Amino acid sequence: MEAISFTSSEHRLAKLSRALTDAGFVVGPWAPGRRTVLDTFDGRLHAAGLRLELSDLHRPELVLRGGGTAVSHVKVTAVPRFGSDLPQGPLRARLAPLLDVRALLPVLRVTGRQAVATLADGRGKREVAVVLHGGVVLDGVPGAAPVWAAEIDELQGYPKAAERARRVIRSIGLEPHGGDVLDLVAAAAGVDLRGYSGSPTVPLAPDEPALEAYRRVLANLAAAVERNRPGTIDAIDPEFLHELRVAVRRSRSVLSEAKRVLPAEVRARYREEFGWFGAVTGPARDLDVYVIEWPDYVRPLGPETVVALQPVLDHIARRRVAAYAELADALGSDRYKTTMATWRAWLQAGSPGEEVGRDAAAPIGRVAADRISVAQARMLSRGRTITEASPAEALHELRKDAKRLRYLLECLGGVLAPAPRKAFVQRLKALQDNLGEHQDTEVHAVQLRTFSHELFETGSAPAQTLVAVGQLAERFELRREAARKEFARRFGAYDTKETARSLDGLLRTALGS
Amino acid sequence: MKVVANYSIKGGVGKTTSAVNLAYEASISGARVLVWDLDPQAAATYFFRVKPKVKGGTSRLVGGKGELASHIRATDAPSLHLLPADFSLRHLDLRLDGTKRPLDRLASLLAPVADGYDVAFLDCPPSISLASESVFGAADALLVPVVPTTLSGRTLTQLADFLDGKRDAPTVLPYFSMVDGRKRLHRELMTTLRAAWPNFLPTSIPAASVVERMGPERAPVATFAPSAVATAAFHGLWTDVAARLWP
C-alpha cells in the first residue's frame, strides 16, 4: 500500500467525500477508532523501516507495514508485549529476531474517525481506496489540534485508478504531504518515532577545551542513566537495566580517564557514587543474563537434565524478583536522587572556585589521543605478560583494560573519524569477546554451584537437580578452558604492527593531521 | 519467502480451491502472500476477480522477457497479491525448454520479489512435465491434495518415486481433500493411507457445497461463509502448514 496524506479540514473533507462520490467512488460509513503505534524503547522497528500498529477500528488487529508493498494483518485478542506474544507464524518470524528481549511499547496513540471510499472495476474488484481521516488527535491529550486528512491506498498493479484518486483530491485544492496521518499527528505533537538512542558518542570539535568536551560527554551518559531508570524500576524489559548499567560504567570509566581535566574532588565523589550504582544494579543484571541465556545454556543437554534443572531456574526467577525490588529501592533512594541532581548541576555549571586539572583548557583532540594511547599501551603491556601459567585474574584485569579502551574510543569518539574508528573497535571487539567468554563462563560456573548449594541447604531440590547442576557447571568449565586456550591466538592477532598502524592513523584524525 | 506449490498429478481434486483458501487464511494470519496462478485455466485468477491477463504473456515472461514484479496485482485481501494466469501458459513447457536452466527458471523469477512476501503459493496445472519440475525446483513444500480413493496411494507413490534422489527436493505434504465422512470407504482408506504416509497433514478438507459457491461468489469461502465447516478446515490446514514452515 502506498499512503499519501493530504492535510485538510472538516469542511474540505466533506467536499472531498462528495467529489469522490461524483467520480464513481463508493464512500463507506464513518467509524470511530483508535490506532496505536508499537515499537521498542529504542525504535528497533522504525530503524528497520517497519511500522507496527494496533488498530481497533473494527476488531483489534495488528498491522505491519514496510518491507514490500503487501501489508501484514492479523487479528489479536491481547496487545503483544514481547516477540513471543505475537501469533506463531511469519509475522513472529519477522519481528521476534528484531525485538530480541525488548518489549513493545505504545509510542503513539491516536483516536479519530475514518471512512473508506473505494473504486471497483466491472468484476467488483477494488482498484483503489481513499481513506478519509476525521478529527484525529493524540489520545488522552485534551485540547490537541485535530488532524483532518485523506490517504490514497494505492493497490499494486492498479496505477491508473490511483491517479484518478489523485486527480479528484487535487481538484478540490488539497496538497500532498510526506508520510501518512500518523506521521502528521506525531509531527504536530512533537513525538519522535525514532525512539531512544543510547549512543555514547557526541559531536566534538578537536580544538574545543577538554573540560567542556568531557562535560558534554558525561552529560550525555547521565541522560542515558536517567532515561533508562523508569523502565528499569518497572522491569519493562532487561535492556533498560543493561543500558543503564552500561551508561554508569562508561561514566565511571570516563571519570577515571579525566585525571588532568576534571577537579579531583568531583572525580573522586562521582566515581564512588557510580561505583555504588554499579554495585546495587549488578545482581539483578546477572540474574537477567541467566534467564535470557538459559535456553542456550541447556540446549546441548538431554531433556531429562533440562527437567532436573527446572528448580534452579525457578530459584533464579525468585532471586531475580527480589533483586529487582532491591534495585528499585536503590534507584528511588535519596542517595540516587541527590547524586544525579548534583551531578547534573555540576555538569551544567561547575562549582565556583574549583580547581580544574591542568589539561582542562587543552584541546580535546590532543587529550583524547593521549588517553587512548595510554590505555592501549597499558593493555598491551599487561597482555604481553600473560602466559599459560598466569592466573585467571590476569585475564580479568586485561578485560577491564580492554573495556576502558573501548569506552574511550566510544565516548570520546566524537573527535575520531567514524569509519576507521568503527574498524578499530571491531579489531578490539574480537579480543574482548574472548576475554568476556573466559570470565563469564567462570562466573556462571561459580554462581551455579552457589545456587545449587542454596537449594541443597533449604532441601528444596532433589538429588538429580544437584547432579544436573554439576553437568551444566562442567559445560561452563569446558567453555572457559576453550576460551583460555584461544586467548594467546586472539591476543597475538591484536598485538600486531597493523593494529599499531591502524591506531596511529585513527588518532591522527583526532589531532587534525 | 517460503514457496508452497499446490500440486497434484491428477486433476479435479480440489487443488485450486485449496490454494485460494489457504492463501487467504495465510493472509489473515499475518503473512504477506503471493499467489502465482500457473494454470492456463486461470481458476485462481477468476476467484480473486483479477483480469486473466499478463502484458506480453506469462509464457514470454518465463521465457526471459521482463520481470515478475510489474505483473503482480493486489487482490481484495489486503495482504494477498496475485500473479494472474493467462492463456499463454499452455505453452509454458515449450518456453521453459528454450531457457538455459529450465529447472531453476521459476525460482530465479521469484527471487527478486522474495523480500516482499512471507509465502508464495504456486497453483500448478495437473501433470508431470517440465513445468512441474521447474515448480519442484522453486518450492520448499509440495501441498498435495489426495481424494481418498483406491488409486490415491499409487499417485502419491508415483510422485515420491519421481522426487526420489533429486537434490533439494521439496517436502511433500499430502492432505485429504473432498472427504465425505459418511462414506465408509473414505474413512477406511484415510486410515490406511495415513499409516503408509506419516507425513499426511492432520486436517482434511471436506467435500462441501459451500466450496462450490466460490464460483458465483468469486471469493475465498471465509469471506462469504465464515462459520462454515469448510472454512474451519482450511484454517486448520493452513495452521498445519504454517507449523511445518515456521516451527
pLDDT at A3 over 70: no
- 8 Å CB contact of B28 and A90: no
What is the per-residue pLDDT for A7?
Answer: 65
Q: Which chain A positions have a beta carbon within 8 Å of B29's beta carbon?
A: 74, 87, 89-91
Does B30 contact A124 at a Cβ distance shorter than 8 Å? no
Mean pLDDT of A215-236: 96
Res. A422: pLDDT tops 80? yes
Which of B235, B183, B166 is closest to B25 using CA atoms? Answer: B235
User: In this model, does residue A351 exceed pLDDT 80?
Assistant: no
In the structure grid, which three cell numbers stand for residue B98, read together? Answer: 528454450
Residues 5-24 of B with CB under 8 A from A: none
Query: Which is it for strands B33-37 and B80-83: parallel, antiparallel or unpaired?
Result: parallel
DSSP-assigned letter for residue B169: P
Q: Is B243 on the interface with A (CB under 8 A)?
A: yes
Q: What is chain A's Cα-based Rg?
A: 28
The pLDDT of A332-351, averaged and rounded, is: 93
Per-residue pLDDT for chain B (247 aa), expressed as one digit of tens each? 999 999 888 788 889 999 999 999 999 999 999 999 988 888 999 999 998 888 877 767 777 666 888 889 999 998 999 999 887 777 777 777 777 777 778 888 899 999 999 999 999 888 777 878 888 889 999 999 999 888 777 888 888 888 887 778 899 999 999 999 888 988 988 998 898 888 899 999 999 999 999 999 999 999 999 999 999 999 999 999 999 998 8
Look up cell 481497533; give the residue.
A56
Measure Cα distances from A76 to A93, A355, A404, B30 in Å: 16, 61, 47, 10
Query: CA-to-CA distance for A333 and A276, rounded, in angstroms?
Result: 12
* Confidence (pLDDT) at B163: 85
Q: Calculate how close chain A gets to B71, using CA atoms only, in Å.
A: 7
Query: What contacts A342, CB < 8 A, 6 or more positions away?
Result: none
Q: Residue A90 and residue B32: Cβ atoms within 8 Å?
A: yes
Contact B74 A155 (CB under 8 A): yes
What the block records as the C-alpha cell of A20 is: 469522490
Name the residue facing B49 among A70, A91, A123 (closest C-beta): A123
DSSP secondary structure code for residue A87 in this structure: P
Least confident of A265-279, A303-317, A491-505: A303-317
Neighbouring-strand partners of residue A137: A111
pLDDT digits (tens, 9 = 90+) for A137-173: 888 777 777 888 888 988 999 999 999 999 998 888 8
What number of helices (H) and strands (E) belong to chain A?
16, 10
B contacts of A70 (beta carbons < 8 Å): 32-34, 74, 78-81, 116-117
Are B217 and B190 contacting, i.e. CB atoms less than 8 angstroms apart? Answer: no
Amino acid at A189: A
Q: What is the pLDDT of residue A2?
A: 47
The pLDDT of A252-273, averaged and rounded, is 94
- Residue B55 burial (10 A CB sphere; 0-12, 13-18, 19+): exposed
CA distances from B151 to A5, B13, B103, B146, B156 (A): 58, 13, 29, 10, 9
Rounded (10°) angle between helices A264-298 and A310-331: 160
Burial class (CB in 10 A: 0-12, 13-18, 19+), B188: exposed
Mean pLDDT, residues A243-259: 95
What average pLDDT does the structure give for chain A? 91
Residue A154, burial from CB neighbour count under 10 angstroms (0-12, 13-18, 19+): buried
pLDDT of residue B135: 87
DSSP letters for A102-140: PPPEEEEEEEEEEEEEEEE-TTS-EEEEEEEEEEEEETT
- From the list A441, A431, A396, A435, the residue with the least C-alpha distance to A297 is A441
B117 in reach of chain A (CB within 8 A): yes
Contact across the interface for A70 and B81, Cβ inside 8 Å? yes
Residues of B in contact with A80 (CB under 8 A): none
Residues of A in contact with B74 (CB under 8 A): 69-70, 155-158
Tell whether the model's pLDDT for residue A474 goes beyond 60.
Answer: yes
Chain B residues touching residue A124 (CB < 8 angstroms)? 49, 218
Instruction: Please give the grid coordinates belonging to residue B162.
Output: 519421481
Q: How many Å is the maximal CA-CA distance in chain A?
A: 88
A27 conformational bin, left if phi > 0, alpha if psi -120 to 50, beta if neither: beta
- Per-residue exposure over B65-86, b if at least 16 CB sit within 10 Å of its own CB, e if not: ebebbebbbbbbbbbbbbbbbb
Would the pLDDT of A97 be above 60? yes
Nearest to B116 among A68, A88, A125 (CB): A68
Query: What's the pLDDT tens digit per position in A271-295?
Result: 999 999 999 999 999 999 999 999 9
Is residue A16 within 8 Å of residue A132, measured between CB atoms?
A: yes
The pLDDT of residue A5: 63
Helix, strand, coil abundance in chain A, percent, nearest 5: 60, 15, 25
Q: What is the pLDDT of residue A432?
A: 97
State phi, psi for A27 to the nearest 5 degrees: -95, 120
Our CA-based measurement puts residue B47 at a distance from the nearest CA of chain A, in whole angstroms, of 11
With a cut of 0.95, is the ipTM above it?
Answer: no
The distance of A159 to chain B (nearest Cα, Å) reads: 10
Handedness of CA A257, A259, A260, A266 (dihedral sign): positive
Percentage of chain A beyond pLDDT 70 is: 98
Q: What is the pTM of this model?
A: 0.86
| pLDDT per position as a tens digit, A105-138 | 999 999 999 999 999 998 889 999 999 998 888 8
Q: Which residue of B has its CA nearest to A52?
A: B30
Residues in chain B within 8 Å Cβ distance of A62: 30
Question: In this structure, are residues A311 and A461 in contact, taking their beta carbons and an 8 Å threshold?
Answer: yes
**Among A196, A188, A202, A282, which residue's Cα sits nearest to residue A242?**
A282
Query: Among candidates A63, A91, A69, which has minimal Cα distance to B26?
Result: A91
Residue type, B225: A
**Which 8-state DSSP code applies to residue B200?**
-
pLDDT at A513: 61
How many other CB atoms are there within 10 angstroms of residue A465's CB atom?
22
* A157 closest CB neighbour out of B74, B78, B118: B74
Taking only the tens place, the pLDDT of each residue in B121-145 is 999 888 777 878 888 889 999 999 9
**Angle between helices B229-245 and B15-28 in degrees, nearest 10:** 70
> How many C-alpha atoms does B182 have within 13 Å on its Cβ side?
2
Q: Residues of B with CB below 8 A from A123's CB?
A: 49-51, 218
**φ/ψ (deg, to 5) at A126:** -70, 135
Pick the closest to residue A41 from A186, A192, A190 (CA basis): A192
Question: Which among A131, A128, A150, A155 has a CA at the least distance from the CA of A70?
Answer: A155
Q: Give B33's contacts in chain A (Cβ within 8 Å).
A: 70
Å from A122 to nearest chain B CA? 10
Contacts of A77 (CB under 8 A, 6+ apart): A60
Residues 48-77 (B) with a CB less than 8 A from some CB of A: 48-51, 71-76
In sequence order, the 6+-apart residues with CB closer than 8 A to the CB of B112 are B67, B68, B69
